[in-house]
């Protein structure tokens, strides 16, 4: 079951790839078995006319029609996969311009923890290894690193981006369900890498904003 908007897109694309691969596999293996049986060697078998012979130019095979047919079928299958993949990449790499206040969060990776900074209009509020977000809202994360290369990923969300010092990578998602998910570093970053984990806590809208408003220093 999908848990976010971007994951829905990953899931449907993955499904499209899988179903097409299975369909092509069934056709190829059925033909393979059919031809193995049909053209198996018999005492009466003889060499086909176009068998290559050493030292002789091959005769023209004249299979233009099957070449055109195979190429057209491949094109019909591959073009939707290419268009679908680029569409998904474009969507995932294009975060929404406007997200609600409290939904744009900075992620800074450190050896060996993730720090989340919420801009609340007064004094930025920071949490460590716990990322709170509201359900049903677009959430934009700007990811960077304070020391070495890390990679910020959310297991179950199929979302991941590099955390590089001096550079900011942006990812976004729109969670469908409340609950806790595991955040993990996906780039070997030192001895503590194995334990560089955090929690994504998807909260109800009311619970999130009551927490967020409580971080504002008046
Ligand atoms: Cu790391």
Q: What is the pLDDT of residues 13-34, one digit of tens each?
A: 889 899 989 999 999 999 999 9
- Give the Å distance between the CA of 197 and the centre of ligand 1: 9
- Give the Å distance between the CA of 113 and the centre of ligand 1: 7
Question: DSSP string of 19-67?
Answer: HHHHHHHHHHHHHHHHHHHHT---TT----TT---TTSPPPP---HHHH
pTM attached to this predicted model: 0.78
- Give the Å distance between the CA of 210 and the centre of ligand 1: 31
Quick: pLDDT tens for 35-89.
Answer: 999 988 888 888 777 778 888 877 766 788 889 999 998 999 899 889 989 988 8
CATH number for the domain running over 104-214: 2.60.40.420
E-strand ranges in 104-196 read 104-110, 113-118, 125-128, 130-134, 139-145, 150-154, 159-163, 169-173, 179-185
- Give the Å distance between the CA of 207 and the centre of ligand 1: 30
In the chain, the percentage of residues whose pLDDT exceeds 70 is 97
Mean pLDDT across the stretch 92-100? 86
What pLDDT, on the 0 to 100 scale, is given for residue 47? 78
Extents of the domains making up the chain: 1-40+65-94, 104-214
């Amino acid at each position: 079951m999908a848990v976010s908007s971007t994951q829905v897109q990953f899931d449907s694309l993955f499904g499209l790839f899988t179903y097409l691969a299975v369909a092509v596999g069934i056709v190829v293996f059925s033909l393979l078995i059919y031809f193995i049986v049909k053209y198996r060697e018999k005492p009466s078998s003889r060499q086909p006319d176009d068998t290559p012979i050493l030292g002789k130019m091959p005769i023209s095979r004249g299979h233009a029609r099957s070449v055109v047919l195979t190429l057209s079928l491949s094109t019909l299958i591959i073009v939707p996969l290419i268009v679908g993949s680029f569409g998904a990449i474009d969507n995932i790499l294009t975060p929404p311009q406007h997200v609600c206040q409290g939904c744009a969060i900075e992620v800074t990776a450190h050896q060996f923890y993730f720090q989340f900074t919420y801009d609340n209009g007064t004094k930025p509020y920071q949490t460590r290894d716990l990322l709170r977000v509201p359900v049903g809202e677009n959430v934009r994360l700007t990811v960077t690193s304070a020391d070495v290369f890390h990679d910020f990923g959310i297991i179950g969300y199929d979302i991941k981006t590099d955390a590089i010092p001096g550079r900011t990578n942006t990812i976004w998602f729109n969670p469908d369900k409340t609950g806790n998910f595991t955040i993990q570093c996906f780039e070997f970053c030192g001895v503590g890498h194995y334990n560089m984990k955090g929690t994504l806590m998807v909260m109800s809208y009311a619970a999130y904003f009551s927490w967020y408003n409580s971080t504002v220093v008046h």
